[in-house]
Amino acid sequence: MRPPQLDIAIPEFPADLEWINARIVRLGTLLGHHAVLVWFWDHCSLNSLRALPYVQEWDRRYREHGLRVFGIHSPQFDFGARREVVEAAVTRLGIEFAVAPDSRYEVWKAYGNEVWPAIYLWDRRGVLRYYHFAEGAYEDTERAIQELLREIDDLVLPEPMAPIRETDAPEALVRAPTPHVYLEEDRGPRAIAAGERLRTRFAAASAAAVLDGQGKVDVVVDGEWARTLTLDGPRLYELVDFGVHGEHDLMLVFHDPARAYAFSFAPGVADQA
């Protein structure tokens, strides 16, 4: 992925974006007294959801000091282009900052973005000063936010957040998980009949799946029943979390018809023995 060029001017959001948690957003009105954090995400991206608590806390910590956070929801899957799906995700996840459903990828293309999640941090002049792709670098990102806010005013700010997970610590040695598995090459759904099973092997600390439906799904790990999910529409469902990296066999047993899109896996800390 080609990194963006620093010190470029912030592009204005398209005028026809229909925001959630905000009536209208005009970045030009914020310049001079605000720093702007633009966060590309998708509610079915496991990496986005793991980063979300940090973004939410930065919004809470620094809003009164001049930070404005804007979430750009650029969908991975077709259902993510529906506004009602994004609104439901924003409510379920407790997101309070402004979110724009970027269903036509207008903002995504304007930024030349290629990954979920991605952070772009703009100073009070509307100049790009920092960016980060994917998970991680949370302390570096928060310190960058603080630097730009101190350029606006002489502020006393808190120490950066402590890591939420062991894998988030700057010194953590992390085992890379199995890459995402898309069940159709074009990221479309695989239709699942009642009684059908999906099986995969993975090496990671936890596993999730993008599913859609209203029925029940049994999660079987290493030949043993782990839990039963009740599907309530299209989203990312946590399947199992071991907390430590390991290799496992995963099977989903569908009681009812459904649609399946992808498996996603999260990293664990490496064994240092």
Instruction: Parse the chain into domains and list their residue ranges.
Output: 27-168, 174-269
What's the pLDDT score for residue 8?
Answer: 84
Q: Domain 27-168: give its CATH architecture.
A: 3-Layer(aba) Sandwich (3.40)
Average the pLDDT over 117-144 and give the result: 96
Q: Is the pLDDT of residue 3 over 70?
A: no
Give the number of other CB atoms < 10 A from CB of residue 56.
17
Mean pLDDT of the chain: 94
Q: Name the residue type at position 176.
A: A
Distance (Å) of CA 53 to CA 47, 98, 163 = 11, 15, 11
Long-range Cβ pairs for the range 11-18 (8 Å, 24+): 11/110, 11/111, 13/70, 13/100, 13/107, 14/106, 14/107, 17/100, 17/101, 17/102, 17/106, 17/107, 18/83, 18/100, 18/101
- Percent of the chain scored above 70 by pLDDT? 98
What is residue 141's predicted lDDT score, i.e. its pLDDT? 97
Residue 172 is predicted with a pLDDT of 86
**pLDDT given at position 98:** 98
Q: What is the predicted pLDDT for the residue at 271? A: 66
For the segment 34-63, the average pLDDT, to the nearest whole number, is 98
What tens digit of pLDDT does each residue of 242-273 get? 989 999 999 999 999 999 999 999 999 876 54
**CATH class held by domain 174-269:** mainly beta
